[in-house]
Amino acid sequence: MIVVAAILWDGFETIIFPRRVTRKARFTHLFYHYTWLVWSKIVNGLMPKKWFEGCLSYYGPLSLLFLLVIWAGGLVFGFSFLHWAAGSTSSSGGTISRFGDCIYFSGTNFFTLGLGDISPHTTSGRILTVIESGFGLGFLALIVGYLPALNQSFARREQTISLLDARAGSPPTAMEMLRRHTHENGLQDLGQFLTLWESWSSELLESHLSYPVLAYFRSQHDNQSWLAALTAILDTTSLMMTYLSGSWKKQAELTFAMARHAVVDLSIVFDTPPCEPDVDRLSSTDLGQLLTILREDGFSLSSGAGHEQQLRDLRYLYEPYLYSLADYLCLAMPPWIPGRGHVDNWRTSAWGDTAMTSKGIRTGRRKSRHF
């Protein structure tokens, strides 16, 4: 009875309960925490670098399916103990005396097979059979509703992340986000874009608090992730709040607040306390280079001795949490300034080394194929 009650309560908190569960001593939390640690260490230690992201991407879907199997198996096993204790099952040959037959009987009830070769012969056994069959139908119904909800949340998350490819580069960076909005009314467009990311951060927070397994689902491209997108948005808004001015600055503050809220709450969910990095993502030299590039592109930036400290204070509000999450989830944090030779995902092709340049399309050698 304790096994059945524990699994049902764990499933209720994981699938149905809409609030974040702060209690750490629960099966689903322990299951994801320790299986992820084992999976990530195996991949880190045994897999070549080119297979690293691909191998890690299997964890999210496989762990979800394995969890559902454990729940179903645990319920079948728990109900078999109840049938065994009640002594309520019998076959054509008489009363069941083997526990394995009780497991078989419990499985046919839970999955509503109704084979009839073993049946209850007491009132309590019949009641227990009906209850288990009801739980089996309810379990399957929850899975039917649970998996589409996860897929829809994942699709909405990735759809918005894909917008950063042309607007902020691959991986997305704060410098590219600003440089690609230097056209006429570009900052107004950026302000509207930040409105979208305020909503995205809110939805990310709610969906990943309700379904933490989504955090383990990786993006389609190796240089994209929900963590990298969140980092780029926080970097951009903190830079705008420090060095730029205008009517859209308020939107930058709102987006920063929502994105930072998501980062901190998700750190609590995955029990990843903030940590200081070994290397500063934006040193004073890099900051000077970034500001010089933005001024050359036509930005009117505020100047003053206190601005660098103000930016550092804003970064301190979110970067330690992001570093901890990135380390736990094996995700890379994007730089502030893109590296040399980086190419946006939309400019590349899977056929040869085809890439689109500013002068047109550069086509690589086509490999012949024989069928």
Give the model confidence (pLDDT) of 355-370 as tens digits. Answer: 544 444 444 444 433 3
β-sheet bridge partners, residue 348 = 355
Confidence band of 260 (pLDDT split at 50, 70, 90): very high
- 207 pLDDT above the threshold of 60: yes
- pLDDT tier at 91, thresholds 50, 70, 90: low
Position 320 scores a pLDDT of 95
Cα–Cα distances (Å) from 152 to 63, 89, 106, 207, in that order, read 18, 43, 34, 10
Question: What average pLDDT does this structure show over 299-322?
Answer: 90
Q: What tokens appear for 168 in the block?
A: 């902020």
Span 211-219, mean pLDDT? 92
Residue 94's pLDDT is what? 57
Residue with the larger pLDDT of the pair 188 and 353: 188
> How far is residue 39's CA from residue 66's CA, in Å, rounded to a whole number?
13
pLDDT at 79 over 80: yes
Q: Residues spanned by CATH 1.10.287.70 within the chain?
A: 2-144
**186-210 vs 123-162: helix axis angle to the nearest 10?**
160
Q: What is the pTM of this model?
A: 0.84
| Bridge partner list, 95 | 90
Percent of the chain whose pLDDT exceeds 70: 89
- Predicted pLDDT at 371: 32
Q: Which residue has the higher pLDDT, 146 or 207?
A: 207
Terminus-to-terminus CA distance in the chain, angstroms? 61
Q: Are 112 and 137 in contact (CB under 8 A)?
A: yes
360 Ramachandran zone, left/alpha/beta (phi>0; psi -120 to 50): left
Residue 33 has pLDDT above 80, yes or no: yes
**Mean pLDDT across the chain, nearest whole number?**
84
Comparing 304 with 269, which gets the higher pLDDT? 269
pLDDT on residue 137: 87
pLDDT for 199 beyond 50 = yes
Domain 2-144 -> CATH class: mainly alpha
pLDDT at residue 167 above 50? Answer: yes
pLDDT of 62 strictly over 80? yes
**Cα distances (Å, whole numbers) of residue 35 to 59, 233, 259:** 9, 31, 28
Per-residue confidence (pLDDT) for residue 197, from 0 to 100: 95
Rounded to an integer, the average pLDDT of 262-291 is 91
Model confidence pLDDT, tens digit, residues 326-340: 999 999 999 999 887
